[in-house]
Structure 1
Amino acid sequence: MAELRNCPMCGAFFNYTGLREVCHNCAQKEEDLYQIVYRFLRKRENRAATVDRIEEATGVERELLYKWVRKGRLHPAMFPNLGYPCDNCGRLTNKGKLCEKCTEEIKSGLRTFEAAKEFRESIIQQDRATYHAERNKK
């Protein structure tokens, strides 16, 4: 069922159905900007352009470029210098929410945590298996 929302770009009311986040007019403007960027990138000399260069040459905001890369409309395989910021450190990445360095840091932390957990569990098991005998005092 549709929900009435304000367009975040122009403030107009529109029926939000989950397909797009903006009203029809703003969606059309975004599509026109996408076509400008895509035509720019299709030229052989521009395929390796960075986000800064694309923003400078086309006037399209970097947030829109990031959105299109995230959604897969601009493929980093075809345009290798494109990406979007990592949610953790801000370094450009082109898959997932985190860059490779942040992903590796999290994995390393999890491995360390798991090793410490296993060590604690082994100590507890050893304490349970140890029997203490009391000496009789005379």
Structure 2
Amino acid sequence: MNIANCRGCGRLFNVLANEQYCPNCQKKLDEKFDIVKKFVEDNPNVPVETVAKETDTTLRQINKWIREERLSFSPDSAYGIPCENCGKTIHTGRFCDECKRKLSNTLRSALDTPPKKENTSWTSADRERMRYIK
């Protein structure tokens, strides 16, 4: 059983799957997220500073929700965050579409490489010798 201090209130709680907040603080955060999401849906072109001020939420928390792809701003919105790889302005997530594609292709090619085959061809002198199984 793992026990940790809640990042919100500081109380001890049982950690089940790498949580950082106790159930009470997590519930409050989820309620706050619903308020922010509704505000952004109702006012799509409002600056993020206004969203934070009107919903009484920190910019850091809003940016965290954007990075987690839980919250996104419209493509015509002036607000954006930088791609973690190239720095291009994006509206949600951690990487732009081009960097996602490059990372996906790199991972796919790393997984698809065929294993190296051992050289099993023997010369005429090797055919007459005793061989050992490796």
TM-score, normalised relative to structure 1:
0.54
Shift of 1:80: 3.7
Q: Distance in 2 between matches of 1:65 and 1:18?
A: 23
Q: Secondary structure at the match of 1:5?
A: strand
Q: Distance in 2 between matches of 1:82 and 1:32?
A: 23
- Where do 5+ consecutive residues of structure 1 fail to align? 104-138
Checking the alignment, whether the CA contact within 8 Å between 1:37 and 1:58 is kept in structure 2 is yes
Percent pairwise identity: 28
| Matching residue of 1:62 | 59
In structure 2, the CA distance between the partners of 1:15 and 1:82, relative to structure 1 (3 Å rule), is farther
Shift of 1:27: 0.4
- Where do 5+ consecutive residues of structure 2 fail to align? 100-134
Larger fraction in helix? 1
In structure 2, the CA distance between the partners of 1:80 and 1:10, relative to structure 1 (3 Å rule), is same
| Matching residue of 2:16 | 17
Q: Secondary structure at the match of 2:51?
A: helix
Q: Distance in 2 between matches of 1:18 and 1:51?
A: 31
Pairing 1:50–2:66 present: no
Shift of 1:20: 2.9
Checking the alignment, whether the CA contact within 8 Å between 1:3 and 1:17 is kept in structure 2 is yes
In structure 2, the CA distance between the partners of 1:79 and 1:49, relative to structure 1 (3 Å rule), is farther
How many residue pairs get aligned? The number is: 96
TM-score, normalised relative to structure 2:
0.56
Alignment root-mean-square deviation, CA: 3.1
